[in-house]
Every structure is written in C-alpha cells, then in structure tokens.
C-alpha cells in the first residue's frame, strides 16, 4: 500500500494539486511543505504516547483497571453514538451521491481519473483487505453460530447460521466503508480541489475558519494521531496472534507472549525500514503479492468447500441482512447485550474509526479526478460485496463443517479465537500449504499496512509534510511496535480491544463534524459558482 503513500517516487494528494506555492481559494498557500517542521502536535502526541507506554509498563494492573472501567462507561453511556453517527454518515453519503453535488470532481473540473476503474477497485481493497480478514473471516461467523447475536436464534441451528453471517456483514459492511468514504471524500476535496495540506484539522476550515490553525486545530490533529496509532497497534497485535497460532500449528512454535513480542519486533523492524527507505517497488510487490495470495486462497476454499451450500447460505444471509438493516443499525443495549456489543459491533466500529484518517489519505491519493458520485458508490458498494463474499466462503465453510461434519471449529475458536482460520483449513487437503499461505498473507498485510500507517502518522505530526524526516518515521515505527507490545503484555486481545474503543470515541465526534464541515463547504461553493454564472 505504501507504494501509493510512501516517500518514494510517487506523490501524495497535495503534491499534485498544490505545487508551486500557488494561493488557493481559502487563502492557504498550496504546496507548502515544511520539510518536516515539528510543532506542538508532534511533541504533544509524542509526550502522551510515551506516558501511555510508561504507564503500561510500570503500572500494568492499574492500566487494565482504568481501561476496563473506561470501556464499560464509554460503551454503556455513549455506545449508541457509534450506531447513530455511522448510520447518519452512510445516509449523508447516499444522499450526496444522488444529489447535484455528485457531479463535482475531486480536483479541477478538467481532471480525469489517474487510474482505470478496475485498478482503482483493486487499490481500494488493498487499503483494508488485511489482517482482519484472516483474524475474523472464520472467527466471527463461527462464534455467532455458537452464540447467536442478541439471542435471535438457538445455537448451532440453520437460523443461527444465517444470523451469524448477517451480523458479520453488518460489522464489515456499509457502515465501515462509510467511515472510510467520508474521510477519503473530504480529504480528496480539500487537497485536490482546494489545495490544502493533508491534515485532518484543515478539513474543518469551512466550519471553524482560521481557528483550525490554533489550539482547536492542534487538538483535532492530536486526536487523529492517537486514533491512528491505536488502530495500527490493534492490527499489529492481531497479526502477531495469528502468525504465532499458525506457526504453532505448523511447527510447534510456543504460543506465548515471548513469541508474539518477537514477531512484533521483527515485523516492526521491517515496516519501519520500509517506511524510511521508501522502497516503493518492494512494497508494491507486497501489495500485489498479498492480493494474489488472497485470491488463490479464496478460490481454493470456494472449490474445495461446500460450494452449493455456500451459494444458498449467501443468498439467504444477504436477504436477512437487507431486511433487518435498519434494525441492526440502531440496535442498542437498553435491555442487555452490552458485553456482546463490546466484543463485536462496538469494537469493530471503533476499529474502523481509528483507521479513518489513514485510509482516507490513501483513498484521496488514488481518487483524484473522480466525481463525488463515482467515489461514494465505488467505495461503499464494491468492498462491501467483496467482504460479504469472503466471510461467506470461509465462515460458511466452517459453519458447514460444524453443523454437518461433526467439526469442533466453534469449540476451538471459543478456546482461542486466533485458531479459527487454521482450524478450518485443517479440514481440507494441503492444510500445511494453505496454512503457510495464510501466515505469509498475514505478514504481508502486516508489513504493507503498518508501513503506510507509519508514514501517515509521521506526516500528521510534521505539519502535513509530504516528506517527513527519517528520524520521525523511525520514531513512529518504533513507538507503534512498542505500544503493541506493551498492550499485548498487559492483557492481550482484550487490552487491544478496550484501548481502541476508548481512544476512538473522541474521534467519532470529529468524523461527525467532518461531514458537517464538508456539507457547508459544498453549499458555499455551489452558491459562489451560481453567483459567478449569474
């Protein structure tokens, strides 16, 4: 992915829309690149991150106590806001796509897309098609089969199988991509059409004016840094757990903290080196290679698995998802179910929120010249269909094994959620080969995703610089790895999930504000254009 984001020969959004120091419509100087000037956002983010790491190392029990209490308070008091805000953003995007504003291009009116539509779709999928697909592609559906969401069915029944995929679609579908789409849309409009720096705070200029250059803007950028940091550390932790479990099954490697720390350390070294050197060819190879391996694994499972059963289950589950969409979108915890929501829906939505800034920068980079309508429909629909299909093929296969072949994948998943994917592969020929491919796939996603995240963190803490200092890149790479390690040691997956939910809540407010700011700017631009035409 960093072949599109990194510091190599390719450019990021603002470079192509704001070169030569031209003055933009809002008075900012386009193309201004401080060359890595470190200001209050960098030092504040670094200071608080260092304090957090020290807290986790020196007072681990206290950290767990505080994060657990914070999690319970945040989800019980504000959990509904994840549901309301993400649904509102989705409705806003659909409205925008079918409004006259949908014809506006992300760039100058004469700009046309840099990439073909097919290539663009492939690049979108590479942005997030990562560790989560291996971590949860089987684990979520099979867990829901054994413990149906909200008690909507009896465990291990046909109704539970349909509900299992229905809620997997919800957690990985339209709402997730709406978060990414609104970020990408606003960043693309702001950088390509307005020539602003690629900072989250700059997207609020229509709403806050010059105050984005003061403490309010700095606060927004710091919150963006923390959301991105903890989203990345969660992915690193999940990746380490998956790799460790796979290696344990293949070669008997111990599944423990020591092994997981070594895995994180090794991968951190690789992605930090990659981010620093900007070796675009290497990362491009990783991105393309991971996509090919994912397709190969998918086709293998589709052919070797219960194909007819999967097709029928797909149709029925999609129908159930569509029928219940608005009920699922607003199903809170007034009558219980908080723990289930914390483990699944709230965590997933918080994870998407924490990845919003990074994926937004990526989507903006590859979408110059597209219309708002084309961007929204492409980002919302195609990835959702691909994710639905992946979860159906792998999750549906695991469901078939447990229901009709006397399998125990659900039991193994309950004991260790990271075993689900490999437990499913064990039921098919060439299990060692496919498990090794899955491990390689996770590592490739691991490196390419973390590399790009390191670049975005460095950019956001370097005043939007498109060429952050090497020392800053190394610092954020190392700090990301260290944070993942201390959270793993503090409480494993629970600590990762708790932290990402708690730290993402303030950023959820920012996402809502982002949509309001963008709408205000669109209205102002349309009035200005109408006035000129008159």
Q: What is the pLDDT of residue 519?
A: 94
Q: How confident is the model at residue 110 (pLDDT cuts 50, 70, 90)?
A: confident
Better-predicted residue by pLDDT, 65 or 493: 65
- pLDDT (0 to 100) of residue 427: 95
Burial of 15 (0-12, 13-18, 19+ CB in 10 A): middle
Reported as a single tens digit per residue, the pLDDT across 337-357 is 899 999 999 999 998 998 888
pLDDT at 278: 62
- Token readout for 253 is 């490697």
Distance, in Å, from the CA atom of 308 to the CA atom of 515, rounded to the nearest integer, reads 42
- The pLDDT value recorded for residue 318 is 97
Residue bearing tokens 């973390």: 450
Domain ranges (residues) in the chain = 2-18+34-533
Q: Of the candidates 176, 175, 182, which has an alpha carbon nearest to the alpha carbon of residue 200?
A: 182
pLDDT tens string 424-452? 999 999 999 999 999 988 888 878 777 77
- The DSSP-derived string for 68-111 is HHHHHHHHHHHHHHHHHHHHHHHHHHHHHHTSGGGG-BSS-TT-
Which pLDDT score is estimated for 283? 57
pLDDT tens-digit profile of 137-149?
999 999 999 999 9
Mean pLDDT of 404-431: 94
170: pLDDT confidence band, cut at 50, 70 and 90? very high
pLDDT at residue 166 in the model: 97
State pLDDT tens for residues 357-371: 888 888 888 899 999
- Please calculate the CA angle 331-337-339 and round it to the nearest 5 degrees: 120
**pTM of the full predicted structure?**
0.87
What is the SS3 assignment for 385-426?
Answer: HHHHHHHHHHHHHHHHHHHHCCCCHHHHHHHCHHHHHHHHHC
Q: Give the tens place of pLDDT for each residue, 49-64.
A: 999 999 988 888 888 8
Alpha helices in 278-344 (DSSP H): 280-304, 307-323, 325-329, 338-343
Residue 472: other Cβ atoms inside 10 A: 23
User: What proportion of the chain, given as a percentage, has pLDDT over 70?
Assistant: 89
pLDDT band for 99, please (50, 70, 90 cuts): very high
pLDDT at 34: 45
Report, at the CATH architecture level, how domain 2-18+34-533 is classified. Up-down Bundle (1.20)
What are the CA-CA distances from residue 495 to residues 233, 343, 480, 486 (Å)?
11, 12, 15, 9
Q: What is the mean pLDDT of the chain?
A: 86
Q: Pick the more confident residue, 27 or 356.
A: 356
């Amino acid at each position: 992915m960093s072949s599109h984001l990194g510091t190599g020969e390719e450019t990021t959004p603002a470079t192509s829309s704001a070169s030569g120091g031209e003055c933009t419509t809002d008075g900012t100087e386009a193309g201004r690149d401080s060359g890595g000037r470190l200001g209050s956002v960098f030092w504040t983010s670094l200071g608080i991150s260092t304090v957090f790491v020290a807290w986790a190392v020196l007072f681990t029990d206290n950290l767990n106590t505080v994060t657990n209490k914070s999690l319970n308070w945040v989800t019980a008091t504000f959990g509904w806001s994840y549901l309301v805000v993400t649904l509102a953003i989705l409705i806003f995007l659909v409205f925008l796509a079918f409004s006259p504003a949908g014809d506006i291009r992300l760039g100058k009116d004469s700009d046309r897309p840099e990439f073909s539509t097919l290539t663009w779709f492939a690049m979108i999928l590479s942005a997030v098609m990562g560790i989560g697909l291996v971590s949860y592609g089987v684990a979520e559906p099979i867990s829901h089969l054994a413990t149906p969401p909200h008690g909507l069915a009896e465990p291990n029944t046909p109704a539970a199988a349909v509900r299992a995929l229905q809620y997997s679609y919800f957690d990985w579908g339209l709402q997730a991509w709406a978060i990414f789409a609104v970020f990408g849309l606003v960043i693309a409009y702001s950088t390509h059409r307005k020539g602003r720096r690629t900072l989250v705070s700059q997207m609020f200029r229509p709403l806050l004016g010059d105050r984005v250059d003061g403490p309010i803007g700095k606060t927004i950028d710091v919150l963006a840094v923390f959301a991105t940091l903890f989203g990345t550390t969660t992915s690193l932790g999940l990746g380490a757990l998956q790799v460790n479990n796979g290696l344990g099954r293949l070669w008997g490697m111990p599944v423990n903290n020591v092994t997981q720390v070594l895995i994180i350390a090794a991968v951190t070294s690789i992605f930090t080196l990659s981010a620093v050197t900007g070796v675009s060819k290497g990362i491009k190879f990783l991105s393309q290679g991971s996509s090919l391996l994912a397709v190969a694994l998918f086709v293998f499972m589709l052919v070797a698995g219960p194909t007819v059963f999967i097709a029928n289950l797909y149709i029925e589950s999609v129908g159930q998802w569509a029928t219940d969409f608005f009920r699922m979108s607003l199903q809170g915890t007034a009558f219980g179910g908080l723990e289930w929501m914390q483990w699944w829906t709230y965590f997933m939505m918080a994870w998407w929120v924490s990845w919003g800034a990074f994926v937004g920068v990526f989507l903006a980079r590859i979408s110059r010249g597209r219309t708002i309508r084309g961007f929204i429909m492409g980002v919302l629909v195609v990835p959702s269909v691909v994710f639905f299909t992946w979860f159906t093929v792998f999750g549906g296969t695991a469901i078939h094994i447990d229901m009709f072949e006397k399998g125990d994948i659900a039991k193994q998943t309950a004991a260790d959620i990271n075993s689900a994917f490999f437990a499913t592969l064990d039921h098919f020929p060439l299990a060692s080969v496919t498990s090794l491919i899955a491990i390689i796939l996770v590592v490739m996603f691991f490196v390419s995703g973390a590399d790009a995240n390191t670049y975005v963190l460095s950019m956001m803490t370097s005043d939007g610089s498109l060429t952050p200092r090497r020392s800053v890149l190394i610092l954020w790479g190392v700090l990301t790895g260290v944070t993942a390690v201390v959270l793993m040691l503090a409480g494993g997956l629970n600590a990762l999930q708790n932290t990402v939910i708690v730290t993402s809540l303030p950023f959820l407010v920012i996402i809502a504000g982002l949509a309001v700011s963008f709408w205000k700017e669109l209205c102002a631009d349309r009035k200005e254009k109408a006035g000129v035409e008159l």
